[in-house]
Amino acid sequence: MRVEIRYQSNGGNTRVAAEVIGEIIGVEAKPFSVPLDAPVDLLILGGGVYAFGLDKSFKAYLEGMDAGAIKSVAAFSTGGFMSVAAKIAAIAKSKGITVCEKILGLKMGGGNNDGKGKEMSDKHLEQINGFLKAVMPKADAISTNL
């Protein structure tokens, strides 16, 4: 199964979350600006909340996704009081891409504006592991610890 991770992050929180997801499943997390070099079975996509929605450039990326190159999408987001994971999933679904039922909205507060993001708490790690167990077909292969 070919899995890729792409994210959009200004303050660093979504990048940190994507990197933790990548470390758990053994896949390098990359910014959404890095193109997919081959079709994928699962694209794990994450974005932050900006002005109560998606970053404009990330939204344009989502709207340009190719259903022929992406079999399914698992969506996550970071934000202080809301999640945009459902918006990511809805756009993928509108493109004809299968969307995993389980989405992940991590409440991490505002970004640090230094691009470094905040550290993951034990609660965040539990939420990430639960998300991965729901979206990955080999759930028993997912570590419960980093």
- Region 10-22: mean pLDDT is 91
| pTM listed for this prediction | 0.88
Model confidence at 52: pLDDT above 80? no
C-alpha–C-alpha distance, residues 64 and 43, integer Å:
14
Range with the poorest average pLDDT among 19-23, 44-48, 67-71, 116-120: 116-120
Mean pLDDT (the chain) is 86
Token pair of 85 as six digits: 């994971």
Per residue in 31-47, pLDDT (tens digit) is 999 999 999 999 999 99
Model confidence at 116, in pLDDT bands (50, 70, 90)? Answer: low
- Region 95-115: mean pLDDT is 80
- Region 38-67: mean pLDDT is 90
- Containing 58, the helix (H) or strand (E) segment is helix 56-63
Range with the poorest average pLDDT among 11-15, 30-34, 134-138: 134-138
C-alpha–C-alpha distance, residues 1 and 22, integer Å:
15
- Region 6-11: mean pLDDT is 90
Model confidence at 114, in pLDDT bands (50, 70, 90)? Answer: low
Contact 38, 1 (CB under 8 A): no
At residue 109, the pLDDT reads 65
CATH of 3-141 given 3.30.565.10, 1.10.3720.10, 3.40.50.360, 3.40.630.30: 3.40.50.360
